[in-house]
Amino acid sequence: NAGVTQTPKFRILKIGQSMTLQCAQDMNHNYMYWYRQDPGMGLKLIYYSVGAGITDKGEVPNGYNVSRSTTEDFPLRLELAAPSQTSVYFCASSNPQGSGSEAFFGQGTRLTVV
């Protein structure tokens, strides 16, 4: 059981470049999330999805876009990368049945924008 899989693990981008962070889960979870982690700041929610075709903004959505064409995949797109987007990105999923369900996290993507 792979759980939540993120690719790539590491990436260096130049300012102004674009890229897509991939996230896939095999637990048939409807709810999926993207967070960014910055030192001393905890995790901040970028975008979330409650099912295929449904996405919404989180706390820090500027500079990012998402799509959810299938239950399994939830890619995060960075357009015109900026140094402020240097961070570690985590994808997560959870079972929507009840607020007591924990979220399962991928291993993260460490992105550096230079």
Contacts with other proteins by CB under 8 A lie at: 4, 31, 33, 35, 40-43, 45, 48-50, 56, 58, 90, 92, 94, 96, 99-100, 102-108, 110
How buried is residue 2: exposed, middle or buried, by Cβ count under 10 Å (0-12/13-18/19+)? exposed
CA atoms within 13 A on the CB side of 97: 2
Q: How far is the CB of 55 from other proteins (least distance, A)?
A: 9
Question: Whole-number minimum distance, CB 15 to other proteins, in Å?
Answer: 25
Min dist CB 63 to other proteins, Å, is 19
Nearer to other proteins, 33 or 64 (CB): 33
Q: Do residues 17 and 31 touch, judged by C-beta distance below 8 A?
A: no
Cα(112)–Cα(26) distance, integer angstroms: 28
Q: Which is nearer to other proteins, 62 or 99 (CB)?
A: 99
